Structure 1
Amino acid sequence: MEETCLDDGPAGNFERATLEIANVDPVKPATESADDTSKRNSASRNVCNVPFKHIDVHTFFTDRNEVVERAINDCTEKLIKENDDELVGSWLLTEISLWDTEKERLVLLSTKALYSVKYDFISLKILDFNRISISLLDTIVAGELIYPPASLAPRLSGLAEGVSSIINCAVRQEWSSVTGCSNFTQFESRKRHMPGIRLLWNRGQPLPLIKKWNPFAKDIPWLTYASHPLFWYKAGTEIVKTRFDIEAFHTTLKSLLSHECNVVNMPIIIENYCGLGALVHNRNGLGFFKIRGKVSF
């Protein structure tokens, strides 16, 4: 038996060496796969907490970089250079109105003012803009966007998400998954879980009721911004994603503020108590220029 083992020893050792080499090589890919999985899981957690959870990024006209670049150049020529000013930075962000409706805005920051531009990314022209002098800003609030405790908006959002999940399962003919899609967790209240910033120039004065409850009021003394939905979905370098990032905008803006301007870190309350109109508007992305079948707006 010992003699047999000696004869078979080299072959056995060679086979074990071969197996060890084969097992060593996949270690790195396995590690990379684990890292990639962790990143994907982290990204999926973020995506679940942002607006337009099931969006197709290719439906956004701004998904094409050359379109955004052209819009920035157009607005710089017509709004900034004509006022003998200098561009500091430019972003594509989501502006949240007093009534909690999300709108796509091109934000240009110059040494003297901030421009919030409603730009038609289909016909490539400026539709409207709001110019706020940097010297007018008295308070900058940065923090998570939240609703008041008595607001129905998170509950309605959870209800809409649950119904949408059931419909999607049925449409895809995943009848066996409908039961799983209809569990109660799908209908839980949905918070925004998004950071934002609010720029105020009201000197601490409350908004008059005649403006607060007027959906057509435009001279609201503050602006609220969040990251553009493409920030979570856009593929590319960090430089490309920075264009849609509220944090990058906040950092640049702080460098231009005067010492008199207060910078506060606290939650930003979106005073939306019922929110049916905002829910329909935001879930369908009506404030963004997207491809919608034969109709695009």
Structure 2
Amino acid sequence: MSYGRSDPEFQTVEMQKEQEDTSKGNASTGNAAETQPDAAASSASRGFRYPGPHRDQYEARKYFVTRAGAFDQAVEDLKAHVIENMGETAHGFWLLTEIDHWNNEKERIVVITDSSLLICKYDFIMLKCLQLQRIPLGDINRICMGSFTFPERSLDRREGEGLRIYWTKQQEPDFLSRWNPFSTEVPYATFMEHPVKNSSQRLIDICQMSPFVAQLVQAVQNVQRQDPASTRTDGLGVVYEPILIETYTGLMSFIGNRNKLGYSLARGSVGF
């Protein structure tokens, strides 16, 4: 579902809103150590571990986002779209890697606006936004940070830490969404730091997870304070606990992630 005036260059996915839940109270977080929302921004400054970021300049240049002006062009495109179609202002642009519910890595630009969190699939080769997912900030009710974990018998695992953002009281996808690798009905988004984050100072600034979390927490709190009636949650909870990725065989993600199919990447020349 698109919002605002239709734009042929953007395919927007509007998250389905859940039916009103009359039950009160936050979901149980087990033994996780939960922080108060007001302290979350400062708590989010703790570092995230990412396995093997690219420090080799030649290796990093394979990613088209490292080319001069590529990210700046994406920012200008998204600023124009946000103003023209949403009537809002974008306050932060971040380059992150999204991990879907099938453990596939996907290069994403994440934007924080006045009232929304936007997750953009951007083609850094053609310099064009291909898809835009919008989550109202007032719907975000939980942010989880921690190490990735997998089922005991999972064959495809990853190391490091990440972030998961929930925006409905339903914490897990339903049966059909869980087994559909292309589903957009999953009630959360999972991120980790982009593999080129250490290749330049500019990329360090836009790829770090901790400043992104701090800005997101502040933006959600502002929306909830300014218009409590419009929010669909009982407040924002920030927790530190393991992030479960429920994959077992993982053949598709094994092939895709090792070949970086989710990134705009130079893959060599063909010819003589």
TM-score by length of 2: 0.71
What amino acid maps onto 2:214 in structure 1?
Answer: T
8 A contact 2:54–2:197 mirrored in 1: no
8 A contact 1:51–1:283 mirrored in 2: no
What residue number does 2:204 align with?
Answer: 241
Identity within the alignment, %: 32
What residue number does 1:110 align with?
Answer: 113
What residue number does 1:73 align with?
Answer: 76
* Structure that is richer in helix per residue: 1
CA distance in 2, matches of 1:123, 1:150: 40
Per-residue CA deviations over 1:151-192 (Å, capped at 9, x if unaligned) read 1213xxxxxxxxxxxxxxxxxxxxxxxxxxxxxxxxxxxx41
The answer on 1:151 being equivalent to 2:154 is yes
Of the candidates 66, 75, 80, which is equivalent to residue 63 of structure 1?
A: 66
Q: Which has the higher mean CA deviation after the structures are superposed, 211-220 or 78-87?
A: 78-87
Of the candidates 159, 182, 188, which is equivalent to residue 192 of structure 1?
A: 159
What aligned pairs does 1:156-195 form with structure 2 within 5 A after superposition?
Answer: 191-193=158-160, 195=161
Higher relative contact order (Cα pairs below 8 Å, separated by 6+ residues): 2
CA distance in 2, matches of 1:101, 1:223: 12
What residue number does 1:286 align with?
Answer: 261
What residue number does 1:256 align with?
Answer: 219
Structure 1: gaps (5+ residues): 1-45, 155-190
8 A contact 1:102–1:287 mirrored in 2: yes
SS in 1 for 2:69: helix
Structure 2: gaps (5+ residues): 1-48, 225-234
The answer on 1:275 being equivalent to 2:241 is no
CA distance in 2, matches of 1:95, 1:265: 19
Per-residue CA deviations over 1:27-85 (Å, capped at 9, x if unaligned) read xxxxxxxxxxxxxxxxxxx77x2378998111110012411011111111113453111
CA distance in 1, matches of 2:174, 2:203: 40
CA distance in 1, matches of 2:83, 2:184: 22
8 A contact 1:93–1:106 mirrored in 2: yes
SS in 2 for 1:274: coil
Per-residue CA deviations over 1:73-108 (Å, capped at 9, x if unaligned) read 111111345311111110111010111000001111
Deviation at residue 202 of structure 1 after TM alignment: 2.5
What residue number does 2:131 align with?
Answer: 128
Over the residues paired in the alignment, what is the CA RMSD in angstroms?
Answer: 2.2
SS in 1 for 2:153: coil
Per-residue CA deviations over 1:110-167 (Å, capped at 9, x if unaligned) read 121011111111111111110110001111111122222221213xxxxxxxxxxxxx
8 A contact 1:107–1:117 mirrored in 2: yes
Deviation at residue 268 of structure 1 after TM alignment: 0.7
What amino acid maps onto 1:137 in structure 2?
Answer: I
Give the number of aligned pairs: 209
What amino acid maps onto 1:286 in structure 2?
Answer: L
What aligned pairs does 1:90-105 form with structure 2 within 5 A after superposition?
Answer: 90-105=93-108
Of the candidates 130, 136, 141, which is equivalent to residue 138 of structure 1?
A: 141
What residue number does 1:170 align with?
Answer: none
What residue number does 2:240 align with?
Answer: 265
SS in 2 for 1:126: strand
What amino acid maps onto 1:262 in structure 2?
Answer: G
8 A contact 1:226–1:246 mirrored in 2: yes
8 A contact 2:104–2:257 mirrored in 1: yes
CA distance in 1, matches of 2:99, 2:172: 18
What amino acid maps onto 2:65 in structure 1?
Answer: T
What residue number does 1:160 align with?
Answer: none
What amino acid maps onto 1:242 in structure 2?
Answer: D
What amino acid maps onto 1:289 in structure 2?
Answer: S
CA distance in 1, matches of 2:53, 2:252: 15
What residue number does 2:189 align with?
Answer: 223
TM-score by length of 1: 0.65
What amino acid maps onto 1:200 in structure 2?
Answer: Y
SS in 2 for 1:141: strand
8 A contact 1:51–1:192 mirrored in 2: no
